Structure 1
Amino acid sequence: MNNDITARPYPHGRSPDPADRPARLRVGVVGTGRVGPTLAAALALAGHSVVAASGVSEASRRRAEELLPGVPLVTPQEVIAASDLTLLTVPDDALEALVRGLAETGAIKAGQLLVHASGRYGVGVLEPATRAGALPLALHPVMTFTGSTVDLERLAGCSFGVTSPEVLRPVAEALVVEMGGEPEWIEEQDRALYHVALANGANHLVTLVAQSIELLGAAGVRAPGRMLGPLLGAALDNALRAGDHALTGPVARGDAGTVAAHVAELRRVSPEALAAYVAMARLTADRALNAGLLKAEAAEALLGVLAEGGRP
């Protein structure tokens, strides 16, 4: 395998002509879910050659056909045999067993780049393959994927959580830049904390927004998404700029009476949403108090209302 991928640096944000690059890799994908085909397609746009993929479900096969047209679908062992760089983009809980199985069957090639895109893991999960001579990289795109061509556009400027042995760091960073991303170095021991921070923000945001849409619908709002869009967009922008100092609303103001009305209405309309509201309101009150936005006496009354609201 030609490892001269780092022979020529490429500044972030630049998209050099693929023909101008010295090292082209044969890329394979094991797991054609929403992420793998997108990353492979991005590498193809950078001039690498996607030579093989593996996928089981019909949805996976359709994604491969859309994003990787003409790429043969074969077994994972055949993908590895055909490629210089293999993307292992299976679900987190399946990754460890996959790597162990590939190593035990002798499928791993010495000098082969083995890349996973899991946020949870660093390169430790690739240890069985590393012992067999593989070069391990963890490249996690900080983005939500649809499994369609729109994802390629979203990779532009997307951060990647990168973990690798120090000697492979230039290779990892070069691959991320080639895919249009921005590398962010994450230490092996910090991967779980890094991942929970992302999941807590992105996944729970979806839950909160969907819940708000349902409650607005119950209140008779005909276009809850249109109503929420500008509000949530402004709140997100303010939070990214100012952190806790962007807090507004009855909890941050200490309006215990309003919060009590919220609790009573949720208990009536949506008891399943009440526990989440109380938990988030308590956390919001604590953060507003620590930021100096909420006075201690107002916080005491507010927390009393929330304590009552949290009881069945």
Structure 2
Amino acid sequence: MSGGRDGRLGVGVIGAGRVGPVIAAALAGAGHALTGITSGSDDDRVEAILPGVPVLAPEEVVRRSELVVIAVPHDQLLGLVVGLADLEAWQPGQLVLHTDAGYGVEVLAPALRRGAIPLAIHPAIVFTGASSIDLRQLAQAYAAVTAPGPVLPIAQALAVELGCEPVVVDEENRAAYAEAVATATQFSRSIVRQSAELLAGVGVENAGAYLSALVRSSVDQALTEGAGTIGADGIPPDATIDG
């Protein structure tokens, strides 16, 4: 992998859902050249985000790229990596990066055996698919980074180029990390939906907008309080326990 004298890379993306095109746009904004992206359910949206970027088959994206970004659903990732290995698509020295929260780099072992360099970077945001919103979110976000020791600085640098603050999560901790992320997103969505329905039921118009500042300030307060409000037994120090 040459990457050019200035360290810029030819970047290809496999996955044209909410995540892949935004990651591509962020890396292009950092000066990397986009070599191609796979087709998705809405190629017109991808064209609007990434005008002129070729739409290619996955194996052709891999063939053309020095950095391959894989942004596919969790249950498709391993099969995709294995399938491309069976086609002998992976190249020695090529960077292969996936964005899944639940996997570290072990899932990329078939590419590693072909000489590729495995990286895992999960930006801790909920992607909307709207590039302008998501790029702003990336600039304020952290990203979980997992990589073999010698190439960890590469993964960290790529996270920074996405706009994120990198946080190293060890391979053995990725499952727990994914559970933490899922708990936060699923619980918050459920509670906000329930609150919005209750407000709408009492006649509050545009309940989502009404809750916006309240939810943000509540989350900020919870994050500020942090772990200091929880005792070693997991119970807040001022909690009353019946019985």
Q: TM-score, normalised by structure 1?
A: 0.72
> Residue 41 of structure 1: SS of its match in structure 2?
helix
Aligned position for 2:226? 243
Amino acid at match of 1:92: H
Q: Look up the equivalent residue of 1:216 and give its one-letter code.
A: L
Query: C-alpha displacement at 1:219, in angstroms?
Result: 3.1
- In structure 2, the residue matched to 1:179 is 162
Once residues 78 and 166 of structure 1 are traced to their aligned partners in structure 2, the CA distance between those partners, rounded to angstroms, is 29
The CA deviation at 1:233 is 2.4
8 Å contact from structure 2 (residues 3, 10) kept in 1: no
C-alpha distance after superposition, 1:35-83 (max 9, x if no partner)? 11111111111111001110232x2x12320221101101000000111
Following superposition, the deviation at residue 294 of structure 1 comes to: 2.6
Give CA-to-partner distance per residue, 1:108-128, whole Å, 9 cap, x none.
Answer: 111110000000100000001
1:24 alignment partner in structure 2: 8
Question: In structure 2, what is the equivalent of residue 75 of structure 1?
Answer: 57
The equivalent of 1:53 in structure 2 is 37
Residues 110 and 76 of structure 1: CA distance in aligned 2, closer, same or farther (over 3 Å): same
Amino acid at match of 2:236: A
SS of alignment partner, residue 143 of structure 2: strand
Q: In 2, Cα distance between the equivalents of 1:227 and 1:83?
A: 46
Displacement after TM superposition at 1:246 (Å): 7.3
1:229 aligns with 2:197: no
Structure 2 equivalent of residue 277 of structure 1: none
Shift of 1:244: 7.0
Structure with larger RCO (C-alpha < 8 A, sep 6+)? 2
1:39 and 2:23 are equivalent in the alignment:
yes
- The one-letter amino acid of 1:34's match is R
Q: RMSD over aligned Cα, in angstroms?
A: 2.0
- Are residues 230 and 125 of structure 1, via their aligned partners in 2, closer, same or farther at CA, if it must alter by over 3 Å? same
Distance 1:35 1:291, change over 3 A: same
The partner residue of 2:66 within 84, 90, 104 is 84
Q: Structure 2 length normalisation: TM-score?
A: 0.92
CA distance in 2, matches of 1:231, 1:245: 22
Residues of 2 paired with 1:53 and 1:234: CA distance? 38
State the distance in 2 between where 1:174 and 1:65 align.
27
8 A Cα contact 1:89 1:116, kept in partner: yes
Change in CA separation of 1:63 and 1:243 when aligned onto 2, cut-off 3 Å: same
Q: 1:212 to 1:90 in 2, by over 3 A?
A: same
Residues 155, 181 of structure 1: 8 Å contact kept? yes
The CA distance in 1 between the partners of 2:26 and 2:109, in whole Å, is 26
Match of 1:109 in 2: 91
Q: Is the Cα–Cα contact under 8 Å of residues 177 and 183 in structure 1 kept in the other structure?
A: yes
2:38 equivalent to 1:93: no
Give the aligned residue type for 1:94: Q
Is contact 1:37–1:63 with CA below 8 Å preserved after alignment? no
Offset of 1:22 from its aligned partner?
A: 1.4
Q: Which runs of 5+ in 2 are unaligned?
A: none
Match of 1:154 among 115, 137, 140: 137
Deviation at 1:3, TM superposition (A): 5.4
Equivalent in the alignment of 2:203: 220
Q: Which residue of 2 aligns with 1:295?
A: 240
Task: Extract unaligned runs of 5+ from structure 1.
Answer: 5-20, 248-285, 301-312
- The one-letter code of the counterpart of 1:154 is Q
Which is greater in Rg?
1
Deviation at 1:167, TM superposition (A): 0.7
CA distance in 2, matches of 1:226, 1:112: 45
* Larger helix share, 1 or 2: 1
- The CA deviation string for residues 140-180 of structure 1, in whole angstroms up to 9 with x for no partner, is 11011111222112211311100000011111111111221
Tell me the amino acid that sits aligned with residue 51 of structure 1: T
* In 2, Cα distance between equivalents of 1:155 and 1:170: 19
Identity in percent = 43
